[in-house]
Amino acid sequence: MSRFLSLAAFLTVAGTLFAAAPASATGRPTPVIVDTARGHGNVVSFTFDDGPNPPDTLNLLKVLRKHHVKAVFCLWGDHVREHPEVVRAIAREGHVLCNHSMRHDDMSAWTPEQIRADLEATSALIRQAVPHAKIAYFRAPFGAWGQSPQVAAGLGMQPLGWRFDIEDWVPPGTDVLVQRIRDRITPGAVVLMHDGGGDRSQTVAAVDQIIPELRADCWRLTLPKTRG
């Protein structure tokens, strides 16, 4: 009888400890916004917002394949509906998918219920294009997070931020974009760039130019951390 009581006490304590453990300790997403690349030292992560956007997204995939780099693609729901074949190409190449909302709205004043409905609809579209796709991250449009980190974590997506943005939404020229990366890069940075929302050919060209340069300077391109 005493053995059964001891076992029951052990299970009670273990259950209490598991319930009290933070989400990161149990492998679940947390509401903490990730802005750091995996690894130590000179590591950097490339992330691309607002696609899919042919032909720029497809050209970017060719560049990343040529340089053997994996990146995160933050997908805009309405664009996913228009170009599901590009989402499939992103997944085929082994890149990581991120939910970037349905219509790129500012969610900062939305209720959790409104946020959840939007994120679920966006994820459903992504999975129509790529059945059973793993959607590892959520990134709030404009960085206007509001209550979205908690909602995203509850839906199994880690909130993904960034350390710096190359400000490519108004194309300033490929050389300018490359110089911005040189000037702003720091160890562990998650970089925000765009493959959608307009003509992103300069961004594609800048990525093609900067990757060999970074590697020559002993930088490693990794994915963002999985948990905050």
Q: Is 31 helix (H, G, I), strand (E, B) or coil?
A: coil
For residues 196 and 51, give the distance between their C-alpha atoms in angstroms, rounded to a whole number. Answer: 4
User: In angstroms, rounded to a whole number, what is the distance separating the alpha carbons of residues 136 and 25?
Assistant: 17
Q: Which residues contact 122 (CB under 8 A, 6 or more apart)?
A: 75, 77, 80, 99, 100, 101, 102
Catalytic residue, candidates 56, 100, 194, 195:
194
Burial code of 1-36, b = ≥16 C-beta within 10 A, e = fewer?
eeeeeeeeeeeeeeeeeeeeeebeeeeebbbbbbbb
C-alpha radius of gyration, the chain, whole number: 20
Active-site choice (35, 49, 50, 208): 49
Strands (E) across 156-218 are located at: 158-159, 164-165, 189-194
Q: Which SS3 state, helix, strand or coil, does residue 208 take?
A: helix
- 194 among known catalytic residues: yes
The answer to whether residue 49 is catalytic is yes
- Residues designated catalytic: 49, 194
